[in-house]
Amino acid sequence: MKTGDQRRMIEARDVVKYFGRFKALDRVSFDVREGEKVVILGPSGSGKSTLLRSINQLETIDAGRIVVNGIDINDPATDITRVREEVGMVFQSFNLFPHKTVLENLTLAQVVVRKRSRQEAREKGLELLRKVGIAEKADVFPGRLSGGQQQRVAIARSLAMDPKLMLFDEPTSALDPEMIGEVLDVMKGLAREGMTMVVVTHEMGFAREVADRVIFMDHGAIVEEGTPEHFFTSPTHERTKLFLSQIL
Amino acid sequence: MMNMEHDNKPIEVGDGAAIPTKADAGLFTAWRISFLGAVGALAYLVIAKPDPYLNILKFVPDGIVVTFKVTIGAILLSLVLGLLTGLGRISGNRFFNGIASVYVEVIRGIPLLVQIFYIYYALGRIVHVPDMLSAIIAMAVCYGAYMGEVFRAGIQSIPKGQMEAALSLGMTRSQAMGHVILPQAVKVVLPPIGNEFIALLKDSSLVSILAVSDLLRRGREYASESFAYFETYTIIALVYLIITLILSKLIGMMEERINENR
């Protein structure tokens, strides 16, 4: 486990988000240090995904402050695309581009955003496809792949941008059970390499094994926060105990 | 009333001729019956009664050329207008959204024939515009509004996650639109756009009320000299039918090719 005072990758203070009159995030504050793996748990509707999506401003927050990689993302002077370039995101529904081949999915943003040459982007893309174990599918369209393969491509697509931080929004929730393992393995490999990761998931095994810290949310607020050992063995709050008794 | 929220509604299909589908794959498809019937009827009339039918047929090709010129000009212009309108309708920018929405509402509320007159005389007050150009502008302004709605629906039919994925990779909204959303939307809008093309070709007959010698006007000119009204309009109708059937076939083939390349 990493300790000490590494640089802060994410610094969120008193974040508030409303959907209409529904308070999705209620003064949420947390930090993520460089290289840290944080897993966010909580019942559905607790605000986990909203919190994750506000880190790269797929959701705009109504109050508070989020600083990512040293940049205040809600500052009007901030060019949010510069922040998003450095923040990879993996979605529950993969969101691969269906009109592009697997390799083109990996090269598009490298060329358009990072301004790499096609050749350079191709090489990088193929290298990452080998890393996630599907190099042989490079020229196939995503529709031909299984869910597990699609999600691995989606992870590779994010990695192609050389992100400093990776966000995972329930990456295995849309997968058949036999495909969850292959995606989690890729994520574990990434964790071993020292990637900073924030993961919203229901995979308790993954949380135990990989997380440096677990954040438990309910009703738009952080209820409890701590190491996996503490969280799974001796939770302090009643709501955490109730959640764990339901899910384990 | 303004109706801005029809997300996930199927794309409205214009009143163009039916585009062949794979289900029509049999030998006696509606398209084949119609096409062979029209060509056969035309051939029979021309051969069996060259006077007046052959004379009429010889008289109208100039008009066919004009009809094509008006149609193609209006299609190109209305595609540009339609795409801009569609983008305006989904824009978060209140100004562009407002302009696009008002344009669509106003144009859809005025009959095309009235628009053709209006634009002809309105333009004529400011600058001298050739009749044909005035006709093309009128058709394009009208169809731009309808195509704008098709483009809007097509863009909105692409799942939200596609835009989010593109943005999360650091693309700007316009990069995401150009590289991710529009290429997918084009496939979705092709059938309804094809229907709009066909409808536009047919509606181009309305420009014959201006001094534009399109297919219909050439027919009228012939008929008013020869008094062979019935015979003339029979030929005109058959020629329109054959043209639209060929066009609908071409669009169907294009659509098939695009779907193959998925």
Q: The tokens 């500052």 sit on which residue?
A: A75
pLDDT of residue B24: 53
Q: Is the pLDDT of residue B257 over 90?
A: no
Beta bridge partners of A22: A19
Of B164, B171, B172, the CB nearest to A95: B164
Interface touch A112/B179, C-beta < 8 Å = yes
> What is the interface pTM, i.e. ipTM, of the complex?
0.94
pLDDT of residue B129: 84
A83 in Cβ contact with A68 (< 8 Å): yes
Q: Is the pLDDT of residue B3 over 60?
A: no
Task: Quickly state the pLDDT bin for B17 (edges 50, 70, 90).
Answer: low
pTM for this model (two decimals): 0.83
* Residue with more model confidence, B239 or B123: B239
Q: Is the pLDDT of residue B8 over 50?
A: no
Segment B209-216 mean pLDDT: 89
A11 in Cβ contact with A66 (< 8 Å): yes
Task: Quickly state the pLDDT bin for B261 (edges 50, 70, 90).
Answer: low
Q: Identify the DSSP state of B24.
A: G
Interface touch A99/B187, C-beta < 8 Å = yes
Residues of chain A found within 8 Å of residue B154, distances taken between Cβ atoms: none
Kindly give the confidence (pLDDT) of every residue in chain A, 248 residues in length, as a single tens digit, with 9 standing for 90 and above.
444 457 899 999 999 999 999 999 999 999 999 999 999 999 988 999 999 999 999 999 999 999 999 999 999 999 999 999 999 999 999 999 999 999 999 999 999 999 999 999 999 999 999 999 999 999 999 999 999 999 999 999 999 999 999 999 999 999 999 999 999 999 999 999 999 999 999 999 999 999 999 999 999 999 999 999 999 998 999 999 999 988 77
Residue A7 Cα, gap to closest chain B Cα (Å): 23
pLDDT of residue A116: 97
Q: Is the pLDDT of residue B18 over 70?
A: no
Q: Is the pLDDT of residue B47 over 60?
A: yes
Segment B195-209 mean pLDDT: 92
Task: Quickly state the pLDDT bin for B252 (edges 50, 70, 90).
Answer: confident
Interface of B with A (CB under 8 A): 159, 161-162, 164-172, 175, 179-180, 183-184, 187, 262
Segment B208-232 mean pLDDT: 91
Residue A177 sits at the chain B interface (C-beta within 8 Å): no
pLDDT of residue B6: 41
Q: What is the pLDDT of residues B144-186, one digit of tens each?
A: 999 999 999 999 999 999 999 999 999 999 999 999 999 999 9
Interface touch A89/B165, C-beta < 8 Å = yes
Residues of chain A found within 8 Å of residue B165, distances taken between Cβ atoms: 89, 91, 95-97, 154
Residue A81 sits at the chain B interface (C-beta within 8 Å): yes
pLDDT of residue B254: 84
Dihedral sign, CA of A62, A65, A67, A70?
positive
pLDDT of residue B109: 93
**Could you give the dihedral angle defined by the CA atoms of residues A119, A123, A128 and A130, in that order, rounded to the nearest 10 degrees?**
140
Residue A168 sits at the chain B interface (C-beta within 8 Å): no
CA-nearest residue to B260 within chain A is A99
* Cis upstream peptide for B159 (omega within 30°): no
**Could you give the dihedral angle defined by the CA atoms of residues B67, B70, B73 and B77, in that order, rounded to the nearest 10 degrees?**
-130
Sheet strand arrangement including A213-218: A87-90, A165-169, A196-200, A37-41, A213-218, A221-226
Interface touch A158/B169, C-beta < 8 Å = yes
CA-nearest residue to A109 within chain B is B169
Measuring CA to CA, which residue among A57, A95, A143, A84 is closest to residue B162? A95
B128 in Cβ contact with B119 (< 8 Å): no
